[in-house]
Amino acid sequence: MELGLREALFRDARRLLEALCNDRGLLPDEEPAGTLEVCHSGRALNVRTLFGPIRLVRRYLHHPPSGTGRAPLDEVLGLEGGYTPALARLVCRAASTMPSFRQGAEALGELAAIHVEARQLGRLAAAAAPGLRDALATIEAPGASSGNPKPPVLYAECDGTGTPMRKEVLAGRAGRQEDGGAKTREAKLGCVFTQSGTDEDGCAVRDPASTSYVGTYGGCRDIAVLLRQEAVRRGLGGASRVVCIGDGAAWIWKNFELTFPGAVQILDYYHASEYVVEMAVEIHDGDAGKAEALHTRWRREMKRGCPETLVAEARSMLAAHPGWSGEKRAGIESKIAYLESHAGRTDYGEYRARGYFIGSGVIEAGCKTVVGSRLKQSGMFWSEAGAENILSLRCLCLGPHFDAAWTERRKLLKQQKLRARRWLPEESSKAA
């Protein structure tokens, strides 16, 4: 009964919407033809709406010299390839938030009685994503009068994860396969979130719904620019403190130095712990029990302070055992050198006393939820443009800027269409 009633309501809604869109008293279609344009009246178009297809009859202005044309009423209605803006917006969300285009199409049909082919989700996403990226770059930080409180602590994190790509995308790229080639392309992901306080135990607490993401398949500096822009949109200028957390990748720290000068830099505690565990295992390579006891104590001490004490103890062990093999000594020394190279980022006792996070769990989880759950499904092999489009759309949909970017994109599209009508000077002279 309910499904039948919904279909009846949709039929009535389609009739009403079709009548409204074809009412020239309500929606005039009188824009005069431009230079060298020829007007054709009564051109029909089947338009997909939230309630199903309707038939729109309007004027079409053809420009023979360029072989292009336009329907002014389509622009007034904001049609996206024959889809209304409301439907196009919903389809783009489904395309990026569901695990696949097929599942997105099924969800639209089951939940909203909107029947769109799976391939259309990909086409609309490909059409909308570049404009949404451009629109996002124009969104400014909220002003002082917006009522948004300044974030006491703003965090920026960054990481990368590989996604499967088509063979032609990977051709000539170095990788970790036996033949030296690559099976994946790295998606670089950045996130920004805020913290206003700590819990009763003094542990950092992330502000609810405060995390936003940016991502790209571009280079290291590309994600740096995107992350900086997102931090500015999220209130970087008004933040009392800025904290950058990452793992040991050199490009991450270089980006932080360039884009967040003066920020507190913290090496992910759990990443540092991996080196401590490996060093303890190498020291007691024949006794797992002693190795576990050592790295448990070292990690506890490091969390309360910094690695300086355990590094000094490890050096003493090296000096006390000159008979250790060269390979064993080199392994331990490499771990010591790594911890010493990050000495300015590992004062965990001080960071915890200030109430900061010391782990990069937010971006680690983001690599799984933002990238992995959509772009690393079984059987998926992406083109570069397709992966970039879905990644940027997914970051938008999972953050606070989608609605603003969609609105701003409409403005940019209008400006682009106006510029496109400025025909070449020689064509105007012919018309004269």
Percent of all residues in the chain with a pLDDT value above 70, rounded to a whole number: 95
Angstrom distance (rounded) from CA 317 to CA 244? 34
- In this structure, what DSSP letter does residue 424 have? -
Look-up of token digits 């009564």: 42
> What is the length of the chain?
432
- Contact call for residues 239 and 151 (beta carbons, < 8 A): yes
Please write the tens of the pLDDT for every residue from 285-318. 989 999 999 999 999 999 999 999 999 999 999 9
Pairwise CA distance, residues 295 & 310, whole Å: 9
Asked whether residue 377 carries a pLDDT value surpassing 50, the answer given is yes
**Which residue's entry shows tokens 């009859």?**
57
Given a cut of 70, whether residue 428 has pLDDT beyond it is no
- Given the structure tokens 């093999």, which residue do they identify? 325
Q: For residue range 321-344, list pLDDT tens digits in order.
A: 999 999 999 999 999 999 999 999
Residue among 227, 226, 99 at smallest CA distance from 157:
227
Say if residues 196 and 207 touch (Cβ distance below 8 Å): yes
> pLDDT, tens digit, for every residue of 108-133?
999 999 999 999 999 999 999 999 99
pLDDT computed for residue 422 by the predictor: 53
Q: Which among 46, 44, 130 is positioned nearest to 83, based on CA atoms?
A: 46
Q: Which of 248, 247, 245, 216 is nearest to 229 (CA)?
A: 216
Contacts (Cβ under 8 Å, ≥6 apart) of 273: 295, 299, 302
Q: Which residues contact 372 (CB under 8 A, 6 or more apart)?
A: 161
Strands (E), 253-345: 264-267
Residue 13 DSSP SS3: helix
Question: pLDDT, tens digit, for every residue of 18-27?
Answer: 999 999 999 9
Return the DSSP state at 145.
G
pLDDT of 400 above 60: yes
Residue spans per domain, the chain:
2-137+401-431, 144-268+359-397, 270-345
Specify the pTM.
0.89
Positive/negative CA dihedral, 60, 63, 67, 69: negative
How many angstroms separate the CA atoms of 134 and 214, rounded?
13
Summarised one tens digit per residue, pLDDT across range 173-211 is 887 777 778 889 999 999 999 999 999 988 999 999 999
